[in-house]
A and B are shown apart, each in its own frame.
Chain A
Amino acid sequence: MTRDALQEKILAILIEDFEFEKPGLNDNLRDDHGFDSIDAIELLGKIELILGYSLTWEEKEKAMGIRTINDILDYIETIEASRRLKTED
């Protein structure tokens, strides 16, 4: 999945499910949109649906440090890349 397509999906989720108004890619999720740890856990469930597989504990724990939408996109891309590497091995 390209970054643009991923961005579109994540923005749609944040607007529809988390009621974000005009989200910016570098907005601070907590300060600008009241996005907290519980939201992050709900979002993880939706990311698993996008990816089509379950995340490991380590991957989930890393998500708790996410601060911006760009961080979310980087996070998903990193997971996809590491999974791809594992399957190639």
Chain B
Amino acid sequence: MSNPSTFRFLDFLVTILCWAWFIFGFLFFFSWFYVGAALFAKNQEASFQRLNSRFFQVFFGILRLTAPSHQWEIDEEVAAIRSAVIVCNHISYLDPLLFIALFERHRTLVKGRFFSLPVFGWIIKKSGYFPASGEGRFSRMMIEQMETMKDFLLGGGNLFIFPEGTRSLDGRIGELNQGAMKIARLCKAPIYVLRIAATDKLFSPGKFLFQTRVQQSISLKILKRIEPDYQHHIPSAAALEEQVTEAYGVRQS
């Protein structure tokens, strides 16, 4: 079983299984619930977020079963986070999916082009995800989401954002966008700084196959909780960014 070609075949099988879940799991199981939520749910956004979370919980269940050499170390405190803006480094396409699986009530930023995709665009719009830029046709969506963000967070929801904006290819923290800090400031919400590690070993940027036979630990840890005294002083986004940068141990230029 230690033959590299056997490994690749197993990786291929796991990859196919994951894609099968994405396509057929959605078509045969979840699509009915999404349609039901769209037609009958009182709070469509919450229902869609819950369905997304369940869908990816199954996805990660499949991955854990089929790639047992990867250990998962997720701080219990992470799953318990509520009413916060969560920022995290970004190393794999799996990262946002893991956050969706972890948090039943969540919002996040999504690249604008995804909103034009059939089905997927409809789901992310209904889920209350919003585009990174509020210009042009996204103006109204951005304003609506921002105006309800404070209540969403107060109600126990989390907003998670990868402030680097894109995946790091070498594991180093890139330049941070201040958007997450600006939203935290606007909503007077705490910021949790998280570090994710080794998801890129399971699903590497630029590769099609999951690397299921690598022995290593995927971890998600809280590095810092930033809770400014908003009552007495509202810090600037730059000051909050500095604290986030410090948490990652990155020297500012």
Question: When chains A and B are docked, how far (Å) is the Cα of A8 from the Cα of B135?
Answer: 27
Q: Is the CB of B142 within 8 A of A19?
A: no
In the complex with contacts A64-B134, A64-B135, A65-B135, A38-B146 CB distance below 8 A: yes
Interface size class of B (residues with CB under 8 A): 10 to 19
Interface size class of A (residues with CB under 8 A): 10 to 19
Main secondary structure of the interface of B (DSSP, over half): helix
In the complex with contacts A60-B143, A61-B139, A64-B139, A39-B134 CB distance below 8 A: no
Interface residues of A in 31-49 (CB under 8 A from B): 34, 36-42, 44
Q: Is the CB of B142 within 8 A of A36?
A: no
In the complex with contacts A36-B179, A37-B134, A64-B135, A57-B236 CB distance below 8 A: no
Q: Is the CB of A42 within 8 A of B134?
A: no
Q: Which residue of A19, A36, A61, A65 contacts B143 across the interface (Cβ within 8 Å)?
A: A61
Interface residues of B in 162-213 (CB under 8 A from A): 178-179, 182-183, 186
A19's closest neighbor in chain B, by CB? B236
Residues of A bordering B, CB below 8 Å: 17-19, 34, 36-42, 44, 57, 60-61, 64-65
